[in-house]
Structure 1
Amino acid sequence: MYTVLIAENEPWVLKGIVQMVKAAGMEFQVVGECSNGNEAWNMIQEVWPMLLITDIMMPELDGLSLIKRIAEQRIPMVSVIISGYDNFQYAQKAMSYGVSEYLLKPLEYEILTEALKRSKDKLESLKDLNNYIVRFQCLLENSQGLALDTIMQKQNQLIQSILRLHGLNNNARVGLLNILDNKLKTLLNDFGIEFRDIPKSKHQDETSILKYYMAMLEKWYLEYPRMVKSSMPEAIAQSCRYIETNFKTNLSLAEMANLTNFSISHFSMLFKEHTGSSFVSYVNRLRVDEAKKLLRTSSYAVSEIADIVGYASGPYFTRVFKAHTGVSPLEYRRRMGS
Structure 2
Amino acid sequence: MIFKMLIVDDEPIICRGLRDTIPWEKYNIEVVDIAHDGQDAILKVQNHGNVDLVITDVRMPNMDGLQLAAFIHQHYPTIRMIMVSGYDEFSYAQKAIQLGVKDYLLKPVNIEELVSRVVKLTQEIGNEQKLTDMISHLDLKENVIIVHSSTSIGQLNLKNNDKTDWLIGKAEEYIKEYYKSNIRAHEVADIINISPNYFSSLFNQQTGKSFNEYINDLRIEEAKKLLSETPFKVHEIAELVGFKEYKYFVKVFKEFTNLTPMTYRKLMMTK
Normalised by the length of structure 2, the TM-score is: 0.46
Q: Which has the higher strand share?
A: 2
Q: Which has the larger radius of gyration?
A: 2
**Larger RCO: 1 or 2 (CA < 8 Å, sep 6+):** 1
Q: Which has the higher helix share?
A: 1
